[in-house]
Amino acid sequence: MLLNVSSIVTKNEKGINGWMMPFVKTSEGFWDGYDIKYIYATSIDPGCRKGPILHLKRECRLCPIVGSCELVLKTDEGYNKILLDAGNPCVIPIKVGTEFCLYNQNQSICVLVNVANHCWTEDDQDSHKVTDWEFEI
């Protein structure tokens, strides 16, 4: 399931002054039963990747807010590639136990917001080594 996200133009007495982009809106049902514990932004520099990543406790829900990147999920059927683009934002869930990697092949930074149901701490980073990742962009 995917939650489409759209920005909302903001105004003051002088006119348009920017935008806001809600990515947690509990009235839409997408968040029902999801116990939000940790919300953070993460960036991926141009030409870099983050991962492959495996969380055994934390479910991720990613939303692009600046730039774009490719999200690659490892499934039983192989690798599934999804474009995450702030120009067409969405929130995409990544279930516990799903191996994934984020690739930024662009010339500018990509920034994502992650809404997670398990906190990262120094003592419990919930980041596990992926040894059989065979996908490359």
In a domain, 80, yes or no: yes
Neighbour tally for 5: CB within 10 Å? 19
In a domain, 107, yes or no: yes
In a domain, 88, yes or no: yes
Q: Does the model's pTM come out above 0.75? A: yes
The tally of domains found in the chain comes to 1
Q: Which of 14-23, 104-113, 119-128 has the lowest mean pLDDT?
A: 14-23
Is 62 exposed, middle or buried (CB count within 10 Å of its CB: 0-12, 13-18, 19+)? Answer: buried
* Res 94 pLDDT > 90: yes
In a domain, 75, yes or no: yes
